[in-house]
Structure 1
Amino acid sequence: MTTREAIRPVLPILIAASFMLTIAFGIRQSLGLFLPQITSDIAVTITQFTAAIAIQNLVWGFCQPIAGIAADKWGFRPVMLVGAISYLVGMLTMASANGAWMILFGAGICVGIGMACASFAMTLAVTSRLVPVSVRSTALGIVSAAGSIGAMVTAPYGQFLLNGFDWRIAALGFAVLALLIIPAAWIAGRVDKEAPLELSADNADRLSATGAMQMAFKNPSFVVMAMAYLVCGMQLVFLTTHLPSYLQICGMDPMLGASAIGIIGGFNILGSLFFGWAGQRWNKQALLGLIYCSRSLVLAVYFITPPSATSTIVFAAVMGFLWLGVSPLVAGSVIEMFGLRWQAMIQGFAFFNHQFGSFLGAFGGGWLFDKFGSYDVALVIGISMGLTAGFVQIIFALIRPPTRPATA
């Protein structure tokens, strides 16, 4: 059977999972657009809004391993449906918010649970079970690229509603999109019957959740990858949360922030496809380090000088190319080291580190801005940590390539 023949019967599941990721990631990526209007309309400060985004990332990271364990026990469909409903509740709560606590509950807790149960980890785990190993890394890159389409479309859509109406109507518009996650999750849940897991004897598949967890934390390659992943989250969420505000402070057109996020989403597609393809051929963890170093240098170059429309568009395009390429590389590394059964759970532990970094990027960026009146200190910290993490990741990957530990 050829690769095409193997994929054709499960193509509807892959499309539904990709669509689920597109909507979930697109909305989440665009929430920073609401910051200026919400903070000027109701009793919510910049620090409180960014705290809600920070809590969202912590909830997402904390719930991700739990969602992986639940998917192994009850199946992917119920877990993804819980995530879809939580996402919808979050956007409806945000649309009716009249203070910081409702923003925290809606955009923070509910969206965080939704992302844990119905976005990257679940989508990539579904994809990994459905495609042959010979094209798995490339397939993970293609599906990751689907998440970028959402950001490319959702950010301009949200800014259009913000400009034409107000932030409550825009939040309701996002709730309509969140509603579409429910049927997508239902269809993607067919993976439970179409691709039952075949346990392997040479990885963590036959271990309990606790045994697989212990195996992961004793693997140096996994530990280094998980620690470097913190910087990834810090840099990316800092940008999605604070770039629109930064451009507004600099006197730029508010639509430029939405356009930049949309451009990031568009070039995410190219980056995800490229790094998915590259991960099939070269050391995945060395590629991760290369991404972290490159991002940090691009951030430094952009923020040294006052922004213009042209520099912002170029910056967004380059950052977009380097943005989501980490997803197929991290997922592929976890599968290579530990197998398929506990992929979502083990990847979730690494992702918790990523989300702690996201917490620092969202809340820390807002706190440092309130304290110093600019983003300069936050940028110096983020760029320095990114370069350090990238170099350590590359060096460790080259001197000690990841290996699959014995299950005995």
Structure 2
Amino acid sequence: MSQATQAGTNASVRRGPNVPLIIISGCIIGILSFGPRATLGLFLTPMSSEFGWGRDVFAFALALQNLIWGAAQPFAGMMADKFGTGRTLVLGAIIYAIGLYLMSLSDTPLLLQVSAGVLIGLGVAFTSFSLVLAAFARSVQPKYHGIAFGMGTAASSFGQFLFAPLGLGLIENFGWSSALVYMAALIAIVPLFAYILRGRSAAPAAGSSANPQDNLTLSQTLGLAFKTRDYILLVFGFFVCGFHVAFITVHMPTFIVDQGFDVSVGAWALALIGLFNIVGSMSSGILGARFPKQYLLSFIYLARAIAITLYITLPISEMSTLIFAATMGILWLSTVPPTSGLVAVMFGPRYMATLFGIVFFSHQIGSFLGVYLGGVLYEQSGNYDAIWWLGIALGIFAAIVHWPIREQSATAGRLVAKPA
């Protein structure tokens, strides 16, 4: 390998004894940032009951949160790529904590939409696991990307497992308002670990990298991305992931209560999803390094469709609910390691935070529709049947969409102009 090529490689991949510390810090941030927002569905019943809101009011606020999160994610990625991951995470933690605190004061739909919707949405975007994964991509050797991405995603899942019973306990012992204040205080810890993830991918010297995509500017990379069929298919497919996870996260606890079970069953269902998602995310990261990532994604989405079909067509009990939660947990964020891995393969690590942010925006459009349609269709029909069947159809659609994706560089077979 030439000295120029070696320099270009080292510019974008950090090696050394600080890598384990980066991974540990990133995992802690994933736990703290993903945990509170994954438990907000537990607040639907107490807040709606206290203020006399329909489920569509709370659902719209959280649907707005998912949409804002998705819309802001590419900009959070651009900020991380330009100014560093650490600064971006600190800004996000501040906004996130303020949003949770104001949500604790929300006694009108408008204040709920501003706090739970806009502010928490922005806060989650600027502290999300996609930024952590981008930091891992530039810090870990490419052959270990799948494992690192799996660990980062699994940490976020552990946050859901940890915060689901914690959130329920805080609500039952201190009330929903104080529970949100305590969660805001936990988010304030994020900046302590954000410093470890400081830095950004350095631009290689012109023409120094062996990978053509590393020599492109951001605008050139974006232009290439939107001309790449495989990337576009990935964008469409990830929409379905958001639809599934957001609907279940927000509406599952209340759906379970509608079946005549105690609210604690819903909390433990969310916790089981988080627990088994650790297994699913790690397994997905390992399998994605051994098998074609696109086929792995097709299998995951098809398995989701089958799991949902069995759950809603067979008699629903506490046991079937917990089995369904465990199954969906394995399939939950197991989509993230292969999806982020495909982005890294197509375009390299330099602008990964931005490019995965765009893919994630599609995910959050799906999240918005999953949450909001869940509330609207329930208010219209008195049940969640239509939204469950729509989720099944979308799972089959995603399985079909991912199958033809090619796991290769976006510059393969292309003549890409170098920046002047």
TM-score, normalization by structure 2: 0.91
Does residue 319 in structure 1 map to residue 328 in structure 2? yes
Q: Which residue of 2 aligns with 1:304?
A: 313
Q: Which residue of 1 aligns with 2:100?
A: 91
Identity of aligned residues (%): 36
User: Matches of 1:209 and 1:9 in 2, distance apart?
Assistant: 28
Count of aligned pairs between the two proteins: 398
User: Matches of 2:193 and 2:233 in 1, distance apart?
Assistant: 35
Q: Which residue of 1 aligns with 2:111?
A: 102
Amino acid at match of 2:93: A
Does residue 335 in structure 1 map to residue 344 in structure 2? yes
**1:41-120 equivalent positions in 2, closer than 5 A:** 41-120=50-129
Most deviating of 98-107 and 29-38: 98-107
Amino acid at match of 2:410: R
Shift of 1:401: 4.6
Amino acid at match of 1:49: F
Most deviating of 317-326 and 42-51: 42-51
Amino acid at match of 1:388: F
Question: Are the counterparts in 2 of residues 124 and 143 from structure 1 also a CA contact under 8 Å?
Answer: yes
User: Matches of 2:252 and 2:318 in 1, distance apart?
Assistant: 13
Deviation string, structure 1 residues 261-312 (Cα, Å, up to 9, x no partner):
1111111110111000011111111111111110111011111134211111
Question: Are the counterparts in 1 of residues 54 and 379 from structure 2 also a CA contact under 8 Å?
Answer: no
Give 2:149's match in structure 1, choosing from 91, 115, 140. 140
Q: Which residue of 2 aligns with 1:270?
A: 279
Shift of 1:102: 1.6
Give 2:135's match in structure 1, choosing from 118, 126, 131. 126
Shift of 1:404: 2.7
Shift of 1:138: 1.1
Give 2:166's match in structure 1, choosing from 157, 162, 172. 157
Deviation string, structure 1 residues 307-363 (Cα, Å, up to 9, x no partner):
211111111111101111111111111010001111011111111111000001000
Give 1:31's match in structure 2, choosing from 40, 43, 51. 40
**1:180-329 equivalent positions in 2, closer than 5 A:** 180-189=189-198, 191-192=199-200, 196=202, 198=204, 200=209, 202-329=211-338
Alignment gaps of 5+ in structure 1: none
Amino acid at match of 1:244: P
User: Matches of 1:206 and 1:66 in 2, distance apart?
Assistant: 21
Q: Which residue of 2 aligns with 1:404?
A: 410
Amino acid at match of 2:325: A
Instruction: Say which structure is richer in helix.
Output: 1
Shift of 1:392: 2.8
Deviation string, structure 1 residues 147-201 (Cα, Å, up to 9, x no partner):
1111011010000112223111211121122111221223322x44xx7464635
Question: Are the counterparts in 2 of residues 235 and 361 from structure 1 also a CA contact under 8 Å?
Answer: yes
Deviation string, structure 1 residues 114-167 (Cα, Å, up to 9, x no partner):
121111110000111111112111111112111111101101000011222311
Amino acid at match of 1:233: G
User: Matches of 2:156 and 2:148 in 1, distance apart?
Assistant: 13
Does residue 368 in structure 1 map to residue 377 in structure 2? yes
User: Matches of 1:38 and 1:204 in 2, distance apart?
Assistant: 49
Amino acid at match of 2:28: F
Q: Which residue of 2 aligns with 1:359?
A: 368
User: Matches of 2:227 and 2:375 in 1, distance apart?
Assistant: 36
Amino acid at match of 1:261: L
Most deviating of 162-171 and 324-333: 162-171
For residue 383 of structure 2, give the secondary structure of its aligned residue in structure 1.
Answer: coil
User: Matches of 1:210 and 1:391 in 2, distance apart?
Assistant: 30
Amino acid at match of 1:75: G
User: Matches of 2:256 and 2:212 in 1, distance apart?
Assistant: 48
For residue 251 of structure 1, give the secondary structure of its aligned residue in structure 2.
Answer: coil
For residue 118 of structure 1, give the secondary structure of its aligned residue in structure 2.
Answer: coil
For residue 290 of structure 2, give the secondary structure of its aligned residue in structure 1.
Answer: coil
For residue 296 of structure 2, give the secondary structure of its aligned residue in structure 1.
Answer: helix
Amino acid at match of 1:223: I
User: Matches of 1:170 and 1:79 in 2, distance apart?
Assistant: 26
Cα RMSD for the two superposed structures: 1.6
User: Matches of 1:384 and 1:328 in 2, distance apart?
Assistant: 23
Amino acid at match of 2:146: S
User: Matches of 2:226 and 2:15 in 1, distance apart?
Assistant: 34
Q: Cα 1:197–1:121, aligned 2, differ >3 Å: closer, same or farther? A: farther
Q: Cα 1:28–1:7, aligned 2, differ >3 Å: closer, same or farther? A: farther
Amino acid at match of 2:141: P
Q: Cα 1:309–1:8, aligned 2, differ >3 Å: closer, same or farther? A: farther
Question: Are the counterparts in 1 of residues 224 and 410 from structure 2 also a CA contact under 8 Å?
Answer: no
TM-score, normalization by structure 1: 0.94
Most deviating of 172-181 and 221-230: 172-181
Q: Which residue of 2 aligns with 1:178?
A: 187
Alignment gaps of 5+ in structure 2: 1-13
